Amino acid sequence: MDHFSSNLLAEIRDKFAFVEDCPFVGKRIFFENAGGALTLKSVVETSSKFAAIPDNQGRANTASKALMEIIQEAKKDAAKLFGATTGQFFVGESGTELLFRLVRNAATSAKVGGNIVGSSFEHPATRSAAKYWAAQTGRQYINVQHENNNGNVTAQLYSEIVNRDTRLVTILHASPVTGISVDLEAISKAVNSIAPEALIIVDGVQYAAHGGIKIDHYKIDGYAISPYKMYSRHGYGFAWVSDRLTQMSHEQLLDGPIESWELGTRDTGSYATISDVVKYLEWLGGKIENSESRSVKLSNAAKAIAAQEIALTELMIHGEDNIKGLKDLKGIEIIGGQKNPDRKGLVSFRINGTSSHLLVDFLNEKGIRTHVRKADHYSGNILDPLGWEDCVRVSVCHYNSSEEIKSFLLALNEFQVDASIGQVNSN
Ligand SMILES: Cc1ncc(COP(=O)(O)O)c(C=O)c1O
């Protein structure tokens, strides 16, 4: 059953583009949200509006001033969204580019020597950046091995590796392969208690659409998201950086304002779409409880999103009435286990003895879009230790419905029946 009433879910779905139809193939159910969430219709409108405006920022004319005010407003909106009362926000090319930039600047401005710590749990964005800049700055890179059983990494595991010489630590807030999140507050506090000078850079790309980010609760120096995974669009990344890292030397234009992290002309439209995301979440929070407080509305939206996603993933795993859940399918194995309180809207699994490619193709033909994760440079860090070649990733968002999950389960049942009588082929 959905957490949202059917009326509210219909209102939510109406806020997004291409909910039930793909412009290329027609009707489909979208369970590829970890690859890119649906886009708000307001974001589409805003993007086209700003794409048509020729004016640049920093000019003495009304249009230019208006653009700069929109950017300032978006930064204030982002501060509410991220729960940040310090630091600042800036845009970049992508989540990966921003994480590289944050890691690069942290590694080159930290005190020389020491080591850099990251975890096998991470996406290659932070892992590649941290390993590359460890080598470039002559530091040892030390790995915190994640837990296969739970599909994540803990504060305790970081504490066993971080030492007083640690200069930089990278953390992934939630994995796009396992779907499991970490206790960022606990990990950052643990790191800080051992190595107070260590700079901490966090990849929030997968977490952002599902959680409720609380920067003030973490002791970190950088947090990056990819707006296309948080109801906005492709074409830019969005990051928060701490005052501590800003005050250290970082890349910027010669003689420019010392606090600036922006490099070059900004796309006002990208900032304005962040405001659209915040407006949407406040609207959703306002549907849950009447409140004048923006923070209360955003917090209520985050709780409601989590509740709907838990309802969907529980239904996916356990089934309902005579519809079998994943756990009832022969040969099923779920990364992170059936019961995992840290799961964030994503279930990755395999049916032992069956190709995940075949299954994803079958679902595609049924109009259900999921994704295969292979043991390649993106997912090998998670799949190799499990001894898996691939898995099927089903990633949901709060706008998905229990009806869609049931269609997926019915299709899976059909797949198993077909497979058991040898009728499935790869066509
Ligand atoms: C956790 C995580 N980090 C980083 C990235 C890279 O983000 P971008 O595509 O914006 O570079 C992804 C994309 O899948 C991701 O899931």
Give pLDDT tens digits for 320-375.
999 999 999 999 999 999 999 999 999 999 999 899 999 999 999 999 999 999 98
Q: Which atom of ligand 1 is nearest to the CA of 95?
A: 10
Best mutation site among 226, 228, 371, 374 for ligand 1 pocket (most ligand atoms within 8 Å of CB): 226
Which of the 8 DSSP states describes residue 396? -
- Mean pLDDT value across the chain: 95
Predicted local confidence at residue 424, as pLDDT: 47
Return the percentage of the chain with pLDDT > 90, whole number: 92
Locate the ligand 1 atom nearest the alpha carbon of residue 98 and give its number.
Answer: 11
96, 122, 170: residue to mutate for ligand 1 pocket, most atoms within 8 A of CB: 96
Strand residues in 158-270 grouped as ranges (E):
166-172, 199-203, 222-225, 237-241
- What are the residue boundaries of the structural domains of the chain, listed by start? 6-38+296-420, 45-278
306-328, pLDDT tens digit by residue?
999 999 999 999 999 999 999 99
Question: How far is residue 187's CA from residue 118's CA, in Å, rounded to a whole number?
Answer: 12
Pocket-testing residue among 101, 184, 205, ligand 1, by greatest number of atoms within 8 A of Cβ? 205
Predicted local distance difference test score (pLDDT) of residue 426:
40
Residue nearest to atom 14 of ligand 1 (CA): 35
Residue 427 is predicted with a pLDDT of 37
Q: Give the tens place of pLDDT for each residue, 166-196.
A: 999 999 999 999 999 999 999 999 999 999 9
Fold for 6-38+296-420, please state it. Answer: Aspartate Aminotransferase, domain 1 (3.90.1150)
Q: Is 393 in the pocket of ligand 1 (CB under 6 A)?
A: no
Cβ of 226 below 6 Å from ligand 1:
yes
- State residue 417's pLDDT score: 74
**Per-residue model confidence as pLDDT tens digits over 6-19:** 999 999 999 999 99
Residue linked to tokens 């501590």:
244
How close is the Cα of 329 to the center of ligand 1, in Å?
A: 31
Ligand 1 atom closest to residue 203's alpha carbon, by position in its atom list: 3
CATH entry 3.40.640.10 includes domain 45-278: yes
Q: For residue 239, report the phi and psi dihedrals to the nearest 5 degrees.
A: -140, 155
Query: pLDDT at residue 235 above 90?
Result: yes
Q: Is the pLDDT of residue 243 over 70?
A: yes
* Confidence tier at 420 by pLDDT (50, 70, 90): low
Q: Residue 421 has what pLDDT?
A: 59
Dist. CA 117 → ligand 1 center (Å): 20
Type of residue found at 52: A
